[in-house]
Structure 1
């Protein structure tokens, strides 16, 4: 997926990019490339875990007040935690299967919610 975005780059980040002669786009791409729950949950001590921690922190900040949504996501994350006892390769493979199930579940739930909303609107 390619995406064109516009963001405000904070001065501190811009200065660091200038100091190290980095393109901000390259940093954002590298960051996005490191976000992977299957890898994170199968190799929790990897040096690439920090992007996932940031993502999880964002998730907590945005979902903590929606207990229904949180419980759904937590159930799938718990499934990933249980695969840690397997070897890294088998754990990552098992977690990719969980991610596919999770993704499909969420897509189905959103479709169901949208249909129910449309039905309710037609009744009114």
Structure 2
């Protein structure tokens, strides 16, 4: 599973329209979020660092909710944009999530355990659980 890392507002217009998960590494304006949704109609998740997440307006939150796009906070730990524009969630983490799900662990227990061990935000773990993705 991969997350497209976007470092600047100019980069929004160069994105593949099929992107599903995007991490914005800059403080987006309402216009930036509208542009992102317009350029990537299949987008499902927009991830922002915690400090930027708090500055998102209620109107944008409502807009994204109406579009069924999740707005979550989180970071892409150790990612170097100059090497790769995508941050890959290791397949080992996805496999661990699947195994815990098969074992019958509660969603909350899985989110807590995986986020503690992997530095993934619990909201991202919950998204992976819902999508039941393959690596």
- TM-score tier, shorter chain, comes to 0.3 to 0.5
Larger Rg: 1
What TM-score results when the alignment is normalised by the length of structure 2?
0.30
What TM-score results when the alignment is normalised by the length of structure 1?
0.32
Q: Which has a greater percent of helix?
A: 1
